Structure 1
Amino acid sequence: AELKKRSPRICIDLGLVYLPEDRQQHGLFLEAPLSWNVSSYLVHRLPFFLRPGAERKVFDGFRASMGIKCTGADQEARGLSGGNQQKVLLAKCLSARPKVLILDEPTRGVDVAARNDLYDVIRRLAADGVAIILISSDFDEIEQLADQVEIMAFGQSGGKLTDQISVDAIARLAFGASEGRHA
């Protein structure tokens, strides 16, 4: 479907969801409860009189499936570790049932355990048919998660990889593209 009107609500309703790079500035409502954060893309879909209970139920499902460590659905997002904040942000995106999920640096600022948990969720989504566009500067992350790679440098394509995706191949394209641009 062509997007003629590009409001966030229209995009979300069509299944196009974006996970921003900076979770604290652009992704989470740090002083709001976790349940509200996870359901914030769904506010227009939940009946007004059922919101608190429905929001808590949505959050509890993601808490269990993603291993979000918190004191409960009413805890503020600011009180979580970076990895758990990132899991809440991903849960917020998943609550909208995306068909296409754009992940911008999805594991920036998280520890190894949270990174592995997030990788597992991303792999499950891809296996379930969700199209994922991964934007990452972490070559190891790209190698582990990508089926296809498009290198971008200075707003232009630096090359593509569709098989034999490795850190070395990514680096050759990335640094070759940046060197070629300056030549």
Structure 2
Amino acid sequence: MLRPGGESRAGARAVVSVTPSAPISPSAVVSPPTGRLKLKWHTSDAGWRAGVPRGWIREERPYSTSWRSRDGGAAFTVEVTAQRGTDPLAALGEAEEILRPSATTYRKLRLRAVTGEHGPSADWEFTWTPRKASARDHLTKGVEYHQYRRVISTGTTTSVLTWTTPAADWDALRPTLVRVLALFQPPSLVPTPSAA
């Protein structure tokens, strides 16, 4: 069980995968289970903390950490930079302009500033179909995806949380997304262990 202020009962070990798999064909994707997935804590060396789906495979990149479902269809990515004063809504607006040329279809569901407990924040939710497959991002050409992206600006950092699933799996995985977003703690807000 995952608790916002503590560790899971089973500990917080993560599996590291350094070799991304090839994109998955739509027929190979297994439907996710219904209900919220079980989570475990991950605390990064950079000081942020997130509740992430148990059994998902962790992938480290120079500026981000991702967790992928075993079938490769769904992903949760955290990027944290030491960037101050980011306007979250403007940052997402720029990201939207970058995405549009790479999509054959794009539908914005929301792009708005939100009240965040950690600082100025904004959310962008959309569906899109990529023009090309991407082994790096595990995207398959012709498959519609649904993504929710949140940008959080604290006094010292900017955090970008990205949840991506095939559109067909969105409803089944949405309860997990809601919990994952609620549990995220930026670097300056992660409690430090007390000395014994």
**If the length of structure 2 is used for normalisation, what is the TM-score?**
0.28
Greater share of helix residues, 1 or 2? 1
Higher relative contact order (CA 8 A, sep 6+): 2
Which has the higher Rg, Structure 1 or Structure 2? 1
**If the length of structure 1 is used for normalisation, what is the TM-score?**
0.29
